[in-house]
Chain A
Amino acid sequence: MSEKVLMRGTHVIGEAAIRAGCRFYAGYPITPQNELTEYMAAQMARYPGRVFIQAESELSAINMVIGASMAGARAMTSSSSPGISLKQEGISYLAGQELPAVIVNTVRGGPGLGNIAPTQGDYFQATRGGGHGDYRTIVLAPYSGQELADLTVKAFEYADRYRNPVMILADGMMGQMMEPVVLPEPIDPVTLPKGDYILDGAKGRPSRLVKSLYLDPPVMEEHNWKLFRKYQQIAREITTWEDFMIEDAKLVIVAYGTCARIAKGAIRRLREMDLKVGMLRPITLYPFPSKPMKELTLKVKSFLVIELSTGQMLEDVRLAVEGRAKVHFYGRPGGVVPTPDEIAKHTNLIYHRQGLEGEDYE
């Protein structure tokens, strides 16, 4: 077991990726995630056979990752919102070609150039595929330094296991935060199993092809259904969330990442005031923890979705509860980060307006 180290979030992702056996990283400068690119530039050079490239564009970076992935390497790129928009072409190809890769999005304000403050405005883009075509990206939402490390390792595992792109959805707050972290044990990339699809020259075997072109509609249809079955399998196997003070809760906050962290502070305050508030924190945003949320509606009739956006995950929560509970929303887009006090005040208001402060009324 490694000992605890104090590290900045962006560096935690980089170090965890290297320890997970990442052999290829390509990036392009964009704030607020340059420390990750710079970390990879310095650290990858220390390991023989590992490659860091500063690409000429975000497009090129994701396409270099496609190539490295074809060649059988654990490969990663990172960027922030406007750059991630540019990478969507490549992410669609990764999904269509069923290639593993890890993409880190340190989300900033948008649309357009927006600003460089922490927001959660890329939820739709991340969880709905983002690029063209009928596909899904696995999306992991860390909320602490330790999770940045753990989920980075998981991202590479999931990418390989399902041959699918995996996105780590963080924000500037996660990236800049310094916390004590236990880093994962390093993996020697040589020990990782070699995929039977990788391109390394057809020596002693038939030549291979990695493609996403299926001109015949019935064949394309079957490819789409095959991907769909894979996404169903992913949903069964890796859906992850955290229940926080949920046993007796009358109001359940749903929040992820930075927002969930602030909400925890708010919940502790509200509990001191005897308000029965808990939280369901999605850790995988795709697949979304719809099932536990739906099950929760058997005893909880009020949900409060809190996001650093005008309401995106809100739609997934509504879909999950299927009208069985009232879904409230509190959003702060544009890089405005609410304090635990603000969230507590807002939650308190909803709690009382709903009449949840009285004795059990059932």
Chain B
Amino acid sequence: MSKVIYKRPRYLKPNIFHYCPGCGHSIIHRLIAEVLEELDIGEKAICVPPAGCAVLAYNYIDVDMGEAPHGRAAAVATGIKRMLPDRVVFTYQGDGDIAAIGTAEIIHAANRGERITAIFVNNGVYGMTGGQMAPTTLPGQISTTTPSGRDLRRDGPPLDLSEMLAIARGSVYIERTAVNSPKNIRNTKRAVEKAFKVQLADLGFSLVEILSQCPTNWKMTPQDSLKHIDNVVTKFYPLKVIKDETGL
């Protein structure tokens, strides 16, 4: 007797990812698809993808999708969720999208306690546009707009968006995870599952910040980019539950 132990999740389309080798997006897409299937919510899920590398998320995640202007995903998701309160509505946003141009939208969605889930993929750069400085670019990190490294006097320090959102009274669950090792990938899946459960239980706003590797714009090999998350990124952005008032 043979037993299937690994297969394509139901809500992942059989398309070849356009992402660069070593990119974290494809892992995160798969985790979301797995959770949608395991919680049996794929048929009532609506995703709002971002502008950025994951703008083509609709080629991979097989649920209803409504594209938002850059940064506005939380507002678009608010409109959807308020009209369809029994559906599962989630945004998928990069760090430039959610932590720079979309800060107003996400802070107020969190503060209103919108029953939406935000998947915040933090790779510390604007990937799609070619590796410019993001609000999350680390001190000294080289990007195309910080050619000699992020200068704290000139550019300010990286923004702790998740910690800021934790202050908002309407948010109930915020956790920072990573997808650079099997252990961290499993933990990210657990966090994503929990975030959706928070929404299903009508508890409030939930967000999972996922530290993701961008070997292309970090100018690293995929292997080095995985180590870089452990050795450098998590020192600045520690993996932890930032807020949990769910009782789950």
Report A's interface with B, CB cutoff 8 A.
23-24, 26, 51, 53, 55-57, 59-61, 63-73, 75, 89-90, 93, 97, 199-204, 207-213
Contacts and interface: CB of A to CB of B under 8 A. Distances in A.
B29 interface: no
A265 B229 CA distance: 74
Contacts of A51: 82-83
Interface of B: 42-46, 48, 55, 58, 62-69, 72, 75-84, 87, 104-105, 107-108
Interface residues of B, dominant DSSP: helix
A136 B42 CA distance: 36
Contacts of B104: 56-57, 59-60
Given A60-B108, A63-B75, A199 B80 contact: yes
Contacts of A72: 83
Contacts of A61: 75
Contact of A207 (B64, B67, B87, B105): B64
A60 B83 contact: no
Given A60-B108, A201-B87, A210 B75 contact: no
Those 3 A-B pairs whose CB atoms lie nearest each other, nearest first: A67-B79, A63-B75, A71-B83
A265 B72 CA distance: 47
A207 to B, nearest CB: 5
B79 A201 contact: no
Contacts of B76: 63-64, 66-67, 70
A86 to B, nearest CB: 11
Nearest to B46: A199
Contacts of B66: 66-67, 70, 97, 199, 209-211
Contact of A71 (B45, B80, B107): B80
A67 B78 contact: yes
A207 B75 contact: no
Nearest to A61: B75
Contacts of A55: 75, 108
A68 B80 contact: yes
Given A63-B75, A207-B62, A208-B64, A202 B108 contact: no
A203 B79 contact: no
Nearest to B48: A67
9 contacts: A66-B76, A67-B79, A70-B66, A71-B84, A200-B87, A202-B64, A207-B64, A209-B58, A212-B67
A71 B87 CA distance: 10
A73 B78 CA distance: 13
Nearest to A66: B76
B83 A53 contact: no
B77 A67 contact: yes
Contact of A200 (B42, B64, B75, B105): B64
Given A59-B72, A89-B69, A23 B83 contact: yes
Contacts of B81: 67
Contacts of A56: 104-105, 107-108
A185 to B, nearest CB: 24
A93 B77 CA distance: 15
